[in-house]
Structure 1
Amino acid sequence: MQARGVVVDYGSVRALDGVDLTIRPGCVTGLVGMNGSGKSTLLKAVTGTVRPDAGTVEVAGGSPREARRKGLIGYVPQSEDVDWSFPLSVRDVVMTGRYGRMGFTRRALPADRDAVADALERVELTDLARRQIGRLSGGQRKRVFVARAIAQGARIMLLDEPFAGVDKRSEATIVGLLHDLAARGCAVVVATHDLQALPELAQEVVLLRRRVLFHGPVAQGLAPENLVRTFGLDVMARPGDDDAAPPETAPGTVQTPPWEENA
């Protein structure tokens, strides 16, 4: 995936300002920034649900829309973006990942059912396949959307704050799955606020503040000088310090645009 000079404006407010970024396959990349930094907007530009005002996004050699039509992009949204009251079972939701392969009839073939069953087994939700999606815990819901991406055979996985409100078991399951997907050649991007968990989650980190401030190894990204640029943190504060200000309330935080309140 490549972004070149990507600019996204919401009215008079600029959400992304000349983003240049290349995400390579076979790697889990953390996407980190304060609220309003443009993380969710960048993910939506990659999925093609937000069109850049300037610049280009290329996914698997084509446009985001083409990649999405081919089922190459898997997206795990924030919980707030999903209608959990919709009458779909866990199996139904995972099956939607196969729609691009079914044609207009959307009639599931044995290969589709096998792919869904395998994906549910990998996220440890086989026993809950018939349960309505809204009756799951937060962690189980996240695992359902990871299963959907696995079932569709996505080559690029985008996850927007997947560990918010998630139990430790689900978090560990998801992290293990992401590492496995990366080992199989997927490009995985995880938007997250959790700096402490980042070294175990990702091999690379992108620090975003409407433009890319840093992209490289996690250890270098967590260096004080880079955190200062990203969050306005005290140069002596490091992730895990008891007196370190959390990213959401760090000095220098800018006003959060309404569309990025959960970014």
Structure 2
Amino acid sequence: MPTIQVDDVVVRYGEVLALDGVSLRVRPGRVTGLIGMNGSGKSTLFKTVMGMVRPDRGRVLLDGAEPAAARRRGLVGYVPQSEEVDWAFPVSVRDVVMMGRYGRQGLTRRPRPADHAAVADALGRVELADYADRQIGQLSGGQRKRAFVARGIAQDARMLLLDEPFAGVDKRSEATIVRLLRELADDGRTVLVSTHDLHALPRLADEAALLLRRVLFHGEVSEALRPENLARTFGLDAVDGSVPDGGESGADQPDVGGPADDVLPDAPASREEESA
């Protein structure tokens, strides 16, 4: 059975329909890119999969378990958008990565040698070993994203969800994150990534799902990037980048160039039933 299973999920925020009958299967050993403009429901879908938002209809199963049970077992890791994190909180980069080991430490949350070793290995893999003692908010945008990827690696999560991990990152961090996600998929893990960066998609993902409150397409990346599919998803001509309905240039368009350094995306609408 698929590792991540979403069946006919509907989510409403009052009168606003955020997800309208979303169904999706994400298999292990593959990277799946989730593509859609701002407000298409990507963050809501991620939080529903994580059990942070309760659907009005439908169900989510992670390796056959309810999201809350999967989280308690440490099966799923989550890299949120930058604005969802309090960067002023007085924790070091090492502390953030060690949070991925909490589920293995019992009630005392006292790190053991195996925990320290896992954290050191994860920091090395994301090239942040030299920054381990820095306060997390002192890092650049790309380094912050890499720290949260390291948390998922240290956790040994079998499923990893990343919400816009390339927003506001430099090219080095983008390349590092892409390499790590490919390695994790090759190790048999399930990776779901939302992104606006369509140029990075072919080297990042094995398949893509196009979302506009419901899944419009799910299949090979080359098919997802066909102009007619992008036009359905973004409501614009993806070839010439025109903006429909008098919209502001760049407001809800796919990113067909490189990401800017250290620029945070706009805050998405969200309804959280419980903290992450």
Is TM (by shorter chain) over 0.5?
yes
The answer to whether the 8 A contact 1:33-1:193 is kept is yes
* Counterpart code for 1:259: A
Q: Name segments (4+ residues, structure 1) moved above 4 Å.
A: 243-247
Identity rate, percent: 68
* Counterpart code for 2:269: W
* Counterpart code for 1:222: L
* Counterpart code for 1:40: S
3-state SS of paired residue (2:45): helix
* Counterpart code for 1:115: A
Q: Alignment RMSD, CA only?
A: 1.6
1:212 aligns with 2:222: no
Which residue of the other structure, out of 254, 259, 262, is the alignment partner of 2:269?
259
Q: Paired residue for 1:253?
A: none
The answer to whether the 8 A contact 1:142-1:162 is kept is yes
TM-score, normalised via structure 1 length: 0.91
Name the CA distance, whole Å, in 2 between partners of 1:223 and 1:124: 35
1:154 aligns with 2:164: no
Pairwise CA distance, 1:137 = 0.6
Q: Quickly say closer, same or farther: Cα 1:247–1:206, change in 2 above 3 A.
A: farther
3-state SS of paired residue (1:75): strand
The answer to whether the 8 A contact 2:38-2:252 is kept is no
Name the CA distance, whole Å, in 2 between partners of 1:41 and 1:72: 20
Q: Quickly say closer, same or farther: Cα 1:248–1:207, change in 2 above 3 A.
A: farther
Pairwise CA distance, 1:3 = 0.4
Q: Paired residue for 2:256?
A: none
TM-score, normalised via structure 2 length: 0.87
The answer to whether the 8 A contact 1:34-1:247 is kept is no
Name the CA distance, whole Å, in 2 between partners of 1:128 and 1:258: 30
3-state SS of paired residue (1:104): coil
Name the CA distance, whole Å, in 2 between partners of 1:15 and 1:198: 24
1:107 aligns with 2:100: no
Name the CA distance, whole Å, in 2 between partners of 1:119 and 1:78: 20
Which residue of the other structure, out of 25, 33, 40, is the alignment partner of 1:30?
33
Which residue of the other structure, out of 35, 42, 46, is the alignment partner of 1:43?
46
Q: Paired residue for 1:88?
A: 91
Pairwise CA distance, 1:159 = 0.6
3-state SS of paired residue (1:174): helix
Q: Paired residue for 2:166?
A: 163
Q: Within 5 A, what are the aligned runs for 1:95-134?
A: 95-134=98-137
1:65-105 per-residue CA deviation (whole Å, 9 max, x = no partner) reads 01111111111111100000101001101000000011100
* Counterpart code for 1:99: Y
Q: Within 5 A, what are the aligned runs for 1:55-74?
A: 55-74=58-77
